[in-house]
Amino acid sequence: MEKKKLKVVFMGTPDFAVPSLKALVESGFQVPLVITQPDKPAGRGKKLKPPPVKTVAEKLGIEVLQPERIKENAELKEKLRAIKPDLIVVAAYGKILPRWLLDLPRFGTVNVHASLLPEYRGASPIQAALLDGKEETGVTIMKVIPELDAGPIIAQEKVKIEPEDNAQTLHDKLSELGAKLLVETLPRYVKGELKPVEQDDSKATYCKQITKEMGKIDWKESARKIFNAVRAFTPWPSAYTFYKGKRVKITSAEPVEGSGRPGEVIKADRELVVACGKGALKIKRLRPEGKKEISGEEFIRGYRVKEGDLFGES
């Protein structure tokens, strides 16, 4: 079946989903409807802010629906039945979808997931890969079933995780890769050239929702583990510690050799190095509370840091 004859309803909410929506439209798929989460309060003024997918869909001239609930939504069901989509494509929509919706399209519902399933099912696969110090990850195009990220795999593609990658750079790589793989996969899938393969549930791993509290650095941990946390929690919720009672966000670091009390500054010349439970962490970039991001050297000069000072004491 030709792309231009395939009718796709798209469901997605954050920035991760935007490249997939754009790729579908640019590749010639019919996208008559986008479903996304409701606008949410944001910023100090708590003004309602539309999801990134809504903003892009409106620019593309696509109708947008933002239902509060889907499971018992008769109006939405009627709307989708009238459209008669060949496929529903989901990319980081943000809610578990009911069986009636999954089964409504002729070719079912497919999802773009930011891991090599069955590894890292759940809400934070990008951060989980970084926290675990993985050297590669990837994207999966899968059929959606009611169980969380457990549907049969249609296609996968790997990507290398570079030492300098953080959650933002890896997010951007995977969102673009997912979009590319999606538009390459769908025509072959509907033609029957790609047969979905069941996941091996015995190899499944799961990742939790990321919270602000997870960003607090425990200097008793190894330098490697703290380094992975800095990468995983940049830009949000940020890996943070305290120096002289003030919160400091660490945005770039590198594990190095060294020893001392956990949290102790063991080098404070042109480099800022802090001892960990095992090894030490060279802090390259950091952001003091209420200030702009600066280098480790700038922090040493501006805050008169000296060897023997302690990080971690609030």
Q: Is 239 found in the same domain as 188?
A: no
Structural domain total, the chain? 2
CA distance 187 to 183: 7
* 234 domain residue, yes or no: yes
Q: For residue 253, what is the domain's CATH number?
A: 3.10.25.10
Which tokens in the block code for residue 233? 């929690």
Q: Is 55 found in the same domain as 159?
A: yes
Strand pairing category for 30-35 and 63-65: parallel
CA distance 282 to 111: 39
Q: According to the annotation, is 186 in a ligand binding site? A: no
CA distances from 130 to 115, 157, 205 (A): 11, 18, 14
Q: Is 60 found in the same domain as 18?
A: yes
Q: Is 161 found in the same domain as 24?
A: yes
Q: Is 251 found in the same domain as 185?
A: no
Q: According to the annotation, is 182 in a ligand binding site? A: no
CA distance 122 to 243: 34
Task: Report pLDDT for 87.
Answer: 97
Q: Is 200 found in the same domain as 90?
A: yes
* 263 domain residue, yes or no: yes
Q: Is 220 found in the same domain as 89?
A: no
Identify the domain boundary among 191, 207, 223.
207
- In a 13 Å sphere around the CA of 5, the CA atoms on its Cβ side amount to 5
Q: Is 274 found in the same domain as 254?
A: yes
Q: According to the annotation, is 118 in a ligand binding site? A: yes
Give 182's strand partners: none
* 311 domain residue, yes or no: no
Q: Is 186 found in the same domain as 62?
A: yes
* 314 domain residue, yes or no: no
Query: 210-232, pLDDT tens digit by residue?
Result: 999 999 999 999 999 999 999 99
Q: What is the 3-state secondary structure (H, E, C) of the chain?
A: CCHHHCEEEEEECCHHHHHHHHHHHHCCCEEEEEECCCCEEECCCCEEECCHHHHHHHHCCCEEECCCCCCCCHHHHHHHHHHCCCEEEEECCCCCCCHHHHHCCCCCEEEEECCCCCCCEECCHHHHHHHCCCCEEEEEEEECCCCCCCCCEEEEEEEECCCCCCHHHHHHHHHHHHHHHHHHHHHHHHCCCCCCECCCHHHCCEECCCCHHHHECCCCCEHHHHHHHHHHCCCCCCEEEEECCEEEEEEEEEEECCCCCCCEEEEECCCEEEECCECEEEEEEEEECCCCCEEHHHHHHHHCCCCCCEECCC
Task: Report pLDDT for 47.
Answer: 87
Q: For residue 12, what is the domain's CATH number?
A: 3.40.50.170
Identify the domain boundary among 207, 223, 243.
207
Task: Report pLDDT for 252.
Answer: 97
- Tell me which residues of the chain have a pLDDT lower than 70: 1-4, 314
pTM, entire model: 0.94
Q: Is 23 found in the same domain as 172?
A: yes
Q: Which residue has the tokens 């099912």?
A: 121
CA distance 272 to 300: 7
Q: According to the annotation, is 295 in a ligand binding site? A: no
CA distance 99 to 92: 18
CA distance 132 to 160: 14
Task: Report pLDDT for 46.
Answer: 81
* 42 domain residue, yes or no: yes
CA distances from 122 to 116, 189, 208 (A): 12, 24, 7
Q: Is 187 found in the same domain as 228?
A: no
* 104 domain residue, yes or no: yes
Q: Is 258 found in the same domain as 135?
A: no
Q: In terms of Cα–Cα distance, which of 251, 211, 258, 261 is closest to 227?
A: 251
Domain that holds residue 199: 3-207
* 310 domain residue, yes or no: no
Query: 121-133, pLDDT tens digit by residue?
Result: 999 999 999 999 9
* 308 domain residue, yes or no: no
Identify the domain boundary among 159, 183, 207.
207
